[in-house]
Amino acid sequence: MDTDMMSSQASESGGAGDEALLDEAVAFLNGAALRSGLELAAVVSAYVLDRFFGGSFEAFADPSRAKPLSFMALVRRADLAWSHASLYAFVRVGRQLAELPLAVAERLSVRHHRALLVLEDVEEKAAFAREALERGWSSEELEVAVRARRPASNRGRRPLPPVLKEFRAARRILTRVEDEVPVAELSSEQREELAEVLEELSARIGVVRAALDGGEAAA
């Protein structure tokens, strides 16, 4: 089964209105928060990917792919004891645990792992991780080293972050929409689809706004 189909099934089987799924997820994730360290990252990552993304990290990480409505509804839940940024980071740390050599990955703290998330190449991550262990770096020292030694763009300019690229494209499209939208011309089925699209866009904007307003710093 390909990633598109798995992501689609995760979206359709949950949906923004499936309160049973969301109640289960909130209860599980809030309970998992009582764990600590790498065990917490592994448990949260496995649960989120399996329950909402058909087990596919690629579907979760792809910035060009819309997240399932059920997942976007989850991150908006007021009773979820996780910030958006923390939940996203722990899913990525859980994935990173499986990518790095076990003897290295298990000796790092969650904060060390989060410092490595900005790197894309697994071998480079492993090299920095080993150096951090050998030198006894704190997570802050590792973060400084990673950021200082990341190669610059070949053109001397940083690549545009995917999230900014994504919203620039959305702005270009939305500015072409007429001020007076002829909703009356839509069929009931088309109205439902439009409402679903707007709900998903609102959720996505909410996640980005929360991170922009300091959610990541507070995580």
Q: Which two tokens stand for residue 108?
A: 């790092």
Segment 124-152 mean pLDDT: 89
Measured CA to CA, the distance from residue 51 to residue 84 in angstroms comes to 17
The whole model's pTM is what? 0.59
Q: Given a cut of 50, is residue 83 above it in pLDDT?
A: yes
CB 98 within 8 A of CB 40: no
Q: Which two tokens stand for residue 160?
A: 């545009």
Q: In one letter, which amino acid is 38?
A: L
Average pLDDT, the chain: 79
CB 107 within 8 A of CB 133: yes
Q: Given a cut of 80, is residue 174 above it in pLDDT?
A: no
φ/ψ of 179, rounded to 5, equals -60, -40
User: How much of the chain, in percent, has pLDDT values that exceed 90?
Assistant: 37
CB 196 within 8 A of CB 68: no
3-state secondary structure (DSSP) of residue 74: helix
Q: What pLDDT shows up at residue 215? A: 53
Higher-confidence residue: 155 or 121? 121
Q: In one letter, which amino acid is 164?
A: L
Q: What pLDDT shows up at residue 116? A: 95
Q: What is the 3-state secondary structure (H, E, C) of 154-180?
A: CCCCCCCCHHHHHHHHHHHHHCCCCCC
Higher-confidence residue: 8 or 120? 120
Segment 142-166 mean pLDDT: 71
Q: What pLDDT shows up at residue 16? A: 42
Segment 15-44 mean pLDDT: 83
Nearest in space to 71 (alpha carbons), one of 135, 14, 123, 120: 14
User: How much of the chain, in percent, has pLDDT values that exceed 70?
Assistant: 79
Q: What end-to-end distance do the CA atoms of the chain give, in Å? A: 35
Higher-confidence residue: 16 or 22? 22
Q: What angle do CA 199, 201, 206 make, to 5 degrees?
A: 95
Q: List, for residues 41-59, the tens digit of each pLDDT value.
A: 999 999 999 999 999 999 9
